[in-house]
Amino acid sequence: MPKWLHLLFLPHPDNNHRASLLQPGTLALLIAVYLLNQSFISSLSTLRPGILGYSSEITAQKVLDLTNTQRQKNNLAPLVYNQLLEQSATAKAKDMFAANYWAHNSPGGKVPWDFFNAAGYEFTVAGENLARDFQDTDTMMRAWMNSPSHRSNIIHQKYQEIGIGVVNGILNGVKTTLVVQHFGTPLVPLVPQEVSTGTVLSAAPVTDLAPQIHPLINPLLLTQLVGGLLFGLILVVLVIDAWHTVNKGHHRLTGSTLGHMGFLLIIFLLLILTRQGTI
Amino acid sequence: MLKNLFRYPTEFFLLALLLGSSMVLYFVFGYSPQIRRYLICLSGLLYWGWSLYYHWRRGDLNLSILVEYLVFALLGVIVLLSSVI
């Protein structure tokens, strides 16, 4: 093994019996490199959106498919896609970006039904599900199904129709994707023919209030991967350092290896267990 | 390493309590990225604060050790903050 590698990862008299990777100077350098890498990811997301981007892979079609899959699992009829409900859902998402809020009721006093009415959708029963910050539809659907109130909307037996708004934009200064599901049952009941053929739809496009982005690589996952690898490496070197110290009995004036391991282990766990999205 | 654990059990219990509580609160406030960011910063600060107390009790508190803890805490906070949307 080259000596510089040995000094970087293993205790040695030349590095004062402490792996260079664990010394403050090297760690400060790692922080600088990490920040540089994050700036690079961020810049690439903006300058070359085809490679990296903030927008999620969620589309209205995928949301509809998964919603109806859940309904079929519960022996319920699939929901029919309705363009008026799509308009109201998209309008709600745009309103949240415009007024910078994240709630069913807007700070200006608008309630979900106002969007249904504005789109011209007359209903007997209606409901709304919201989600933000999710990168993929499966994770978002799992989060909804794990929440009793959202789940009850998805598998509500009285709903016949659905419209979905997927809008990218900036909320509270953070680039994100908002997903709005509007459920309803029309005042004029659907005729059986409509119900049976209604699941075919022209998928609603993702609306971008910010520039259009179709990322190949998810920047959040890339960030978590780089961070996870970095912590994994430091943890391994700390374990080697602890083993070496115990065996060789070297006394050094350094921080507690056990303390560092505990702290980094918690951060590592939080990093890999951090779930995306809010509902 | 384990020798220190048995010699200073209260200090290490305190650290486990601080880190464990931070982890629990992190998941409790999973619905709010803003609160999560505050918690991450607070955890880093508490870890650094713990190092002051621990090394003061050991009697080997000095600048190089404080810088080492500061850098570890900063690294943890920066990496975790960047993963919270």
Interface test with B, best of A130, A231, A267 (most B CBs within 10 A): A267
Mean pLDDT (whole number) for B18-47:
88
Q: Report the alpha-carbon distance of residue A26 to residue A15 in Å, rounded.
A: 12
pLDDT of residue A216: 54
The CB density around residue A24, as the number of other CB atoms within 10 Å, is 18
pTM strictly above 0.95: no
Residues of chain A predicted below pLDDT 50: 52-53, 193-203, 209-215
pLDDT of residue A48: 62
CB contacts, 8 Å: B31 with chain A: 278
Using the beta-carbon criterion (under 8 Å), do B15 and A259 form an inter-chain contact? yes
* Mean pLDDT taken over chain B: 89
Mean pLDDT (whole number) for B21-30:
88
Q: Are B7 and A250 in contact (CB under 8 A)?
A: no
Q: Are A60 and A173 in contact (CB under 8 A)?
A: no
Q: Are A114 and A99 in contact (CB under 8 A)?
A: no
The CB density around residue A245, as the number of other CB atoms within 10 Å, is 18
Contacts across the A-B interface (CB distance below 8 Å)? 106
pLDDT of residue A56: 64
Of A27, A266, A267, which is closest to B71 when you measure between CB atoms? A27
Quick one: which H or E segment has residue A190?
none
pLDDT of residue B46: 96
Q: Where are the beta strands (DSSP E) in A133-173?
A: 161-171
Asked if the interface predicted TM-score (ipTM) of this complex is over 0.90, the answer is: yes
Please name the residue of chain B whose CA is at the shortest distance from the CA of residue A227. Answer: B79
In this prediction, residue B85 has a pLDDT band, given cuts at 50, 70 and 90, of low
Q: Are A204 and A90 in contact (CB under 8 A)?
A: yes
